[in-house]
C-alpha cells in the first residue's frame, strides 16, 4: 500500500506539472489570437479610409492569413483544454494504455502548437509591410451653426429626372447613385432643413459616390462586404471577413451592387440571379449602367 501510494503521488505530481505546462501554452495561444484579432479590428475600423492600395493580392492573402490564424488558435485553445480534461481523468484512473494514448495525442497537439507559433513569426514579418498602407486622415466634422429662427418650411419639389429605387453606375458622369425612395429623401430633407437645401442636395451628399471609389474592384468588394455585415446586418467580424473573402475575386460582381443592397438577403438574391445569368429577374432595385460614348477618331486626321 505504501509503495502504491508513493507511485500515485508521483503520478499526480507529474500530471499537475503537465497541466501547468499546457496552461502556459494556452496563455500563449490566447495572446496570439488576440494579436490576430487586433489586426482584424484595425482593418475593419479603417477599411473605408484605405487608399492607394497597390497590391490587391497581397491584401487578400494577408486577410486570409489573419482569418485562418484566428480559426487555428481557437481550435487549438479548445484542444489544449480537452487535454487538461484528459489529464484530470488520468489522475482518477491511470493505466498504461491511457498514458500511451495521451502521449500520442500530446505529440500531435504539440506539433500544431509549434506550427502556430511559427505562423505568428511569419505573419509578423508579412504584416509589417501591409500595415504601412496609407490611411486617409480622418476629417473632423465641423460643428453646424445653430440658427435662432425657425426654419422656413417650403414645398418639396421632386425633379422629373429622378429615378427612384435605381442603382445608377454612370461612366458618363463618373459617379454611382445608390437606390433611394422619394419618402426617404423627404424624410432626410424635413429632418435636416438647415443641412440640405433640396432633394438634389440630399442625393448628391448621401446617395452619390465617385465611380473611382470602386476602381480597385476586388478590394472594393471586400470593403463593401464588411460595411454591409457591420453597418446594415450588425454582424460580427468573422461573418464580415468571410463574406469579403468569398466575394473578393467574384469578377462578375460590381462592388457598387453590394453597396446598394440594404441587407444580406438582397445580396444573396442578386448573387443567385447573377450565377444563373438571370439578373433581369432581380427586383429588389433596378440597375442602370450609363456607358460613356465611344469616341471614334477621324482617320483623315491621323498622321500617316
78 within some domain: yes
| Best CA proximity match to 136, nearest among 259, 49, 231 | 49
Domain boundary among 130, 158, 183: 130
Check whether residue 189 and residue 279 sit in a common domain: yes
135 within some domain: no
Length in residues, the chain: 304
pLDDT at residue 103 in the model:
80
| Residue 85: its H or E element | helix 56-92
| Best CA proximity match to 255, nearest among 151, 166, 178, 153 | 178
Domain boundary among 130, 146, 181: 130
C-alpha cell, 69: 490564424
Check whether residue 119 and residue 186 sit in a common domain: no
Residue 54: domain span: 2-130
Exposure string (b/e) for 146-159, b if CB count within 10 Å is 16 or more?
eeeeeeeeeeeeee
Check whether residue 73 and residue 175 sit in a common domain: no
Check whether residue 22 and residue 110 sit in a common domain: yes
pLDDT at residue 135 in the model:
40
Q: Give the C-alpha distances (Å, rounded to integers) separating 82 from 8, 69, 151.
A: 22, 20, 66
- Total number of domains constituting the chain: 2
Domain boundary among 110, 130, 150: 130
Q: How far is CA 153 from the centre of its chain?
A: 42
258 within some domain: yes
181 within some domain: yes
156 within some domain: no
Check whether residue 186 and residue 239 sit in a common domain: yes
Collapsing DSSP states into helix, strand and coil, what is residue 263? coil
Check whether residue 126 and residue 240 sit in a common domain: no
pLDDT at residue 1 in the model:
34
109 within some domain: yes
Please give the radius of gyration of the chain, using alpha carbons only, rounded to the nearest integer.
29
The torsion angles phi and psi of 167, rounded to 5 degrees, stand at -85, 120
pLDDT at residue 158 in the model:
55
pTM: 0.73
pLDDT at residue 55 in the model:
77
Half-sphere exposure of 24 (CA within 13 A, CB side): 7
pLDDT at residue 214 in the model:
94
Check whether residue 61 and residue 171 sit in a common domain: no
158 within some domain: no
138 within some domain: no
Check whether residue 126 and residue 170 sit in a common domain: no
Helices (H), 192-254: 199-202, 217-227, 237-247
pLDDT tens per residue across all 304 residues of the chain: 334 455 566 677 778 888 888 888 899 888 888 888 888 888 888 888 776 677 788 788 888 888 888 898 898 889 888 888 888 887 777 666 777 777 888 888 888 888 877 777 677 666 655 655 434 433 333 333 332 333 343 445 556 678 899 999 999 999 999 999 888 888 888 888 889 888 889 999 999 999 999 999 999 999 999 999 999 999 999 999 999 999 999 999 999 999 999 999 999 999 999 999 999 999 999 999 998 765 555 544 443 3
Q: What is the C-alpha separation between 242 and 232, in angstroms, rounded?
A: 16
Check whether residue 83 and residue 9 sit in a common domain: yes
Check whether residue 120 and residue 205 sit in a common domain: no
Collapsing DSSP states into helix, strand and coil, what is residue 175? strand
| Residue 29: its H or E element | helix 2-46
Check whether residue 270 and residue 221 sit in a common domain: yes
Check whether residue 16 and residue 113 sit in a common domain: yes
pLDDT at residue 155 in the model:
43
Amino acid at each position: 500500500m505504501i509503495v502504491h501510494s508513493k507511485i500515485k503521488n508521483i503520478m499526480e505530481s507529474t500530471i499537475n506539472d503537465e497541466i501547468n505546462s499546457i496552461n502556459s501554452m494556452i496563455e500563449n495561444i490566447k495572446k496570439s489570437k488576440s494579436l490576430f484579432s487586433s489586426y482584424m479590428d484595425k482593418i475593419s475600423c479603417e477599411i473605408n479610409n484605405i487608399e492607394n492600395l497597390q497590391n490587391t493580392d497581397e491584401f487578400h492573402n494577408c486577410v486570409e492569413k489573419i482569418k485562418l490564424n484566428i480559426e487555428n488558435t481557437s481550435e487549438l485553445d479548445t484542444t489544449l483544454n480537452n487535454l487538461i480534461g484528459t489529464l484530470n481523468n488520468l489522475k482518477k484512473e491511470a493505466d498504461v494504455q491511457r498514458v500511451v494514448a495521451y502521449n500520442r495525442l500530446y505529440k500531435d497537439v504539440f506539433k500544431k502548437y509549434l506550427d502556430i507559433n511559427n505562423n505568428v513569426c511569419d505573419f509578423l514579418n508579412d504584416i509589417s509591410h501591409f500595415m504601412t498602407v496609407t490611411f486617409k486622415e480622418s476629417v473632423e466634422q465641423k460643428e453646424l451653426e445653430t440658427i435662432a429662427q425657425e426654419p422656413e418650411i417650403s414645398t418639396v419639389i421632386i425633379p422629373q429626372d429622378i429615378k427612384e429605387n435605381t442603382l445608377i453606375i454612370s461612366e458618363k458622369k463618373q459617379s454611382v447613385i445608390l437606390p433611394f425612395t422619394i419618402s426617404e429623401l423627404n424624410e432626410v430633407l424635413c429632418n435636416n432643413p438647415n443641412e440640405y437645401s433640396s432633394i438634389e442636395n440630399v442625393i448628391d451628399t448621401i446617395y452619390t459616390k465617385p465611380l473611382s471609389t470602386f476602381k480597385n474592384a476586388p478590394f472594393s468588394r471586400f470593403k463593401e462586404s464588411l460595411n454591409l455585415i457591420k453597418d446594415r446586418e450588425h454582424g460580427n467580424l468573422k461573418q464580415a471577413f468571410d463574406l469579403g473573402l468569398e466575394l473578393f475575386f467574384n469578377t462578375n460582381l460590381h462592388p457598387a451592387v453590394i453597396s446598394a443592397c440594404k441587407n444580406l438577403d438582397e445580396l444573396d438574391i442578386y448573387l443567385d440571379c447573377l450565377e444563373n445569368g438571370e439578373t433581369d429577374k432581380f427586383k429588389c432595385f433596378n440597375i442602370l449602367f450609363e456607358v460613356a460614348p465611344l469616341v471614334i477618331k477621324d482617320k483623315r486626321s491621323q498622321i500617316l
